[in-house]
Amino acid sequence: MELEDVLARVESRLAALGLSAHAASQAAKKPDAIRNLRRAVKNGDRRGITTETLAALAPVLKTSAAWLLEGVGDPSSNLVKVMGRIGAGAEILPEFGQIPAEGLFQITVPFSIPEDSIAFEVEGESMWPRYDSGDVIICWRQSEDAESVVGREAAVCTRDGRRYLKRMRRGATAGTYDLESHNAAPIHGVQIAWAAAIQAVVRADQWARIGQAEKLGTLR
């Protein structure tokens, strides 16, 4: 780890976000972290900066600890907007369309994702053992044609505003679909307003809300 390179990456994120070093350090609950890093580089101090401090700074700087440390990956492509909770059991309200465009909060994930990705936090146990409550699923914001999602696990919003994480099947009536769970009764004959196949899962203990210490995880 070259301190000069770490500082250069930190400074680039401060500039991109319009943040001061003091504000970023305070938000990360690491007072004077960036000032101390600047001082260490200026004085040739080789003691460096801890990975714990970088992990705390990363969400504030909207990047990953790996990028700050080694320049690995894109500086800002591991952020995703969480658009609310999604039911792996009972339905979840409010309607998807009532959620702000910026989402409820952002999280960092341990891999690069497209800019049009969105996420939902899983609530309920009907899709266990595939999904646990607290897992985050990632899918594309743009709705897919419902027929293209048949047979796949998907984030689904029904015409009456309920959100589910289920496997989609064709319903008995044209234009309707059945939603299957792993350990709960299927929901029959719903109409779909929005559906997107699951692209990735981050386990409950492996994602970090912006403003919290970053947790690295594994793509499943």
Residue 44's pLDDT is 85
CA–CA gap between residue 136 and residue 140 (Å, rounded): 13
Decide if 193 is inside a domain. Answer: yes
CA–CA gap between residue 109 and residue 202 (Å, rounded): 7
Residues 183 and 123 occupy one common structural domain = yes
Query: Among candidates 19, 27, 23, which has minimal Cα distance to 59?
Result: 27
- Write the CB contacts of 210 (distance below 8 Å, at least 6 apart in sequence): 59, 60, 62, 79, 105, 106, 107, 108
Which domain, by its residues, includes 25?
Answer: 3-70
Query: Among candidates 113, 54, 125, which has minimal Cα distance to 82?
Result: 113
Decide if 216 is inside a domain. Answer: no
Residues 85 and 142 occupy one common structural domain = yes
Instruction: Give the CATH number, domain containing residue 120.
Output: 2.10.109.10
Residue 209's pLDDT is 72
Residues 101 and 183 occupy one common structural domain = yes
Domain stop point among 24, 48, 70: 70
Rg, C-alpha atoms of the chain? 21
CA–CA gap between residue 145 and residue 151 (Å, rounded): 13
Residues 91 and 144 occupy one common structural domain = yes
Residues 65 and 95 occupy one common structural domain = no
Residue 67's pLDDT is 83
Could you check whether the bond before residue 186 is cis, i.e. omega within 30 degrees of 0?
no
Query: Among candidates 108, 104, 97, 143, which has minimal Cα distance to 120?
Result: 104
Instruction: Give the CATH number, domain containing residue 53.
Output: 1.10.260
Residue 211's pLDDT is 43
Name the amino acid, one letter, at 80: V
Residues 92 and 187 occupy one common structural domain = yes
Residue 216's pLDDT is 36
**What does the chain look like in DSSP terms, one character per residue?**
--HHHHHHHHHHHHHHHT--HHHHHHHTT-TTHHHHHHHHHHHT-TT---HHHHHHHHHHTTS-HHHHHH--S-TTTTEEEEEEEEESSS-B-S-GGGS-TT-SEEEE-SS---TTEEEEEEESSTTTTT--TT-EEEEESSPPPHHHHTTSEEEEEETTS-EEEEEEEE-SSTT-EEEE-SSS--EEEE-EEEEEE--EEE-TTS-EETTS--------
Residues 96 and 60 occupy one common structural domain = no
Residues 53 and 141 occupy one common structural domain = no
pTM of the predicted structure, to 2 decimals = 0.59
CA–CA gap between residue 213 and residue 220 (Å, rounded): 22
Residues 60 and 114 occupy one common structural domain = no
Q: What is the pLDDT of residues 8-44, one digit of tens each?
A: 999 998 887 788 999 999 988 999 999 999 999 998 8
Residues 106 and 8 occupy one common structural domain = no
Residue 217's pLDDT is 37
Q: How many domains does the chain have?
A: 2
| pLDDT digits (tens), the chain, 220 positions | 689 999 999 999 888 778 899 999 998 899 999 999 999 999 888 777 888 899 889 878 878 788 888 887 666 566 788 888 888 765 555 445 446 666 778 887 767 677 678 899 998 887 888 898 899 999 988 888 999 999 999 999 999 888 899 999 999 999 999 999 888 889 999 999 999 999 899 888 888 775 443 343 333 3
